[in-house]
Structure 1
Amino acid sequence: MNNSPNVQLGSDYVQPADRPTAWAAMAAGLANDGYTPAQIADALCVDETTAHRLLAFAGRAA
């Protein structure tokens, strides 16, 4: 259970229809922080092919 006063349960929930855009934004943010596609895949718990697809969806070449 999260007891943090700054975070409400469910506040980070992403509706299914919005997930590709949200995950692509997360991938792009990690890429901006210097993560490699392999590191992005690990951070987002996806395979590296999916990380490349998310980066392409976000308009970032991997």
Structure 2
Amino acid sequence: MHDFLDSGLDSAYVQTADRPTAWAAMAAGLANDGRTTAQIADALCIDEATVNRFLALAGRAA
């Protein structure tokens, strides 16, 4: 599993406008770790449609 503790996302406040990019990076990291869309949705407490939008924002196909 991708360790987000090393990413700095846990220790820094993310401005509201920057949150979609930060969540997209988290979703892409989980996808890079081999997680399925359903697993990413579960890990981030979002639905699969939102995972797909975040992956598209990150430049990754679902």
Normalised TM-score (structure 2): 0.79
Over aligned residues, Cα RMSD in angstroms?
A: 1.3
Normalised TM-score (structure 1): 0.79
The Cα shift of 1:15 comes to 1.0
Unaligned runs of 5+ in 1: 1-9
Unaligned runs of 5+ in 2: 1-9
Looking at CA atoms only, which structure, 1 or 2, has the larger radius of gyration?
1
Query: Deviation above 3 Å: which 4+ runs of structure 1?
Result: none
Q: How many residues align structurally?
A: 53
Aligned-pair identity in percent equals 79
